[in-house]
A = this chain, B = another copy of it.
Amino acid sequence: MQGNPAIILHAPQLGENIGAAARVMLNFGLTDLRLVSPRDGWPSAAAEAMSAGALGQGVSVTVFDTLEAAMTGLTYTVATTARPRGMEKEVFGAAEAVGALKARQGQVAVLFGGEKSGLPNEAVALCDAILTYPVNPAFSSLNLAQAVGVFCHQWGASAGLEGKFGGKGEGVDAPATRENLIGMFEHFEAELERAGYFYPPEKTPVMITNLRNALVRAQWTEQEVRTFRGAIKALSLGRGKARVVREE
A residues adjacent to B (C-beta < 8 A): 20, 23-24, 26-29, 52-54, 57-58, 84, 86-96, 132-136, 138-143, 145-146, 149-150, 153, 156-157, 159, 161-170, 172-173, 188, 191-192, 194-197, 199, 207, 210-211, 213-221, 223-224, 227-228, 230-232, 234-246
Contacts and interface: CB of A to CB of B under 8 A. Distances in A.
A192 B234 contact: yes
B234 A139 contact: no
Contacts of A159: 134
A100 B221 CA distance: 22
B132 A235 contact: no
A139 B54 contact: yes
**A134, A168, A173, A234 — most chain B CB neighbours (10 Å):** A134
B217 A132 contact: no
Contacts of A143: 20, 23-24, 52, 145, 149
Given A150-B150, A207-B227, A235-B232, A139 B191 contact: no
